[in-house]
Amino acid sequence: MSRDDNSKNGGGPGEVGGAGVIDVHAHYVPNGWPRLGPGTPWLRIETERDAVIMLGDREFRRIRSDCWDAEVRLADMDADGVHAQVVSPTPVFFSYAADVAQATRIATVMNDLALEICAPAPGRLLPMCQVPLQDPDAACAELDRCMASGHVGVEIGNHVGDLDLDAEGIVTFLQHAASVGAPVFVHPWDMPSSPRLDRWMARWLVGMPAETHASVLAMILGGVFDRVPDRLRICFAHGGGSFAFWLGRMENAWHKRRDVIGTSRYPPSHYLGRFYVDSVVFDERALRLLVDTVGADRVVVGSDYPYPLGERPAGGVARKASFLDDDTRTRILSGNARAFLGRP
Ligand code: CO
């Protein structure tokens, strides 16, 4: 959206309708970190503005300085009318398969570098931490350390190996996050790989939405929402994946196959209102389904900045969606994010 478009909505640069957009889904990669041991990502610097995330000898992803340079990020946010951005880890650094000591060290180093990246713009660049989720005690300790040092919440991967979000240790971590008031952003990662899925970006286009759908399902059918307090604030990336589209199928299965459907006390629709989803679905029809399904107070702007499968400007579909009234639009662009982040 151009600045002219913004002014039509009554706001100046950085504002839409008098309240700047808050983007809860963006990523960072620092431009330097110490050697963290074999099997961990490293960065091959190409130029001042370009680098490659390397996994061993393999190129994982080419990145640019918007991943680490606050000045570049803030200029993009200003151009896009984004007031604040949650800056989260890039999931390849989660390191949930590493031993706990190594994963804790990686989390510590990355989390401290995230604070440095966000330091130039307090209140606009809001760092989220990562934790060694394979070990609940270490994960809770790192979350506490980060919340005390300026992080606004935690991003977690949607699974730890074969463990979903209903695994005992992860539920313990979610209960702890609820008790300390840390919002949790769930990001799909480590998608299944096969000759069929390794074509056409299918791991990103099919795998990621399915992974996120499976995670919402684990929270519901695994009985997690029955066990964690209402005050847990949890948000799923990419519109919650394919969840909203298939709610009816899950609802039908819950009623027709109670013998195998899992342990939730209530049917899936009962838990709508317990979680947020971001808005990065690229299509007004999909956004409308989301708002109708999960609730107008449960959709927040996410962009996936600065990666190419993200939405620029952040919240672009929500800003223009014809089905939204002004009040609902403002909630989606910023108010719901304030509620999710606990930042009035
Ligand atoms: Co993302």
How remote is the CA of residue 177 from the centroid of ligand 1, in Å?
Answer: 21
- Listed in sequence order, the DSSP H helices in the chain are 3-8, 70-80, 100-118, 136-149, 168-180, 202, 208-221, 224-227, 247-256, 284-294, 316-320, 326-330, 336-341
Q: Which two tokens stand for residue 150?
A: 């300026």
* 67 and 118 Cβ atoms separated by less than 8 Å: no
Q: Encoding tokens for residue 28?
A: 């960072």
Distance (Å) from CA 318 to ligand 1 centroid: 18
Cα of 310 to ligand 1 centre, how many Å? Answer: 8
pLDDT value, residue 198: 92
**Residue 336 burial (CB < 10 Å; 0-12/13-18/19+)?**
buried
**Predicted local distance difference test score (pLDDT) of residue 13:** 33
> What is 3-8+20-30+68-341's CATH topology?
TIM Barrel (3.20.20)
Strands of the sheet containing 125-129, edge to edge, are 21-28, 82-89, 125-129, 153-157, 184-187, 234-236, 276-278, 299-300
Q: From residue 176, how far is each of 14, 169, 171 by CA, in Å?
A: 35, 11, 9
Whether the bond between 308 and the residue before it is cis, its omega within 30 degrees of 0, is no
Structure tokens at 35: 């050697």
pLDDT score at 81: 94
The first and second tokens of residue 295, run together, are 């609730």
Ligand 1: distance of its center to the CA of 113 in Å?
A: 19
What residue type is 333 in one-letter code?
L
What are the average pLDDT values for consecutive 10-residue runs of the chain, which has 344 residues? 36 42 96 82 89 90 93 96 96 93 95 97 96 98 98 98 97 98 97 92 95 97 96 98 97 93 92 97 97 97 95 95 96 96 89
Give the Å distance between the CA of 237 and the centre of ligand 1.
7
Query: How far is the C-alpha of 305 from the C-alpha of 303, rounded, in Å?
Result: 5
Whole-number Å distance, alpha carbon 265 to ligand 1 midpoint, is: 31
Cα–ligand 1 centroid distance for 187 (angstroms) = 6
- The domain locations on the chain are 3-8+20-30+68-341
Residue type, 50: D
SS3 state of residue 71 = helix
Give residue 19's pLDDT: 54
- The CA 263 to ligand 1 mean position distance, Å, reads 30
Question: How many A from CA of 26 to the centre of ligand 1?
Answer: 6
Residue 224 tokens, joined: 């997690």
Distance 49 CA to ligand 1 centre (A): 21
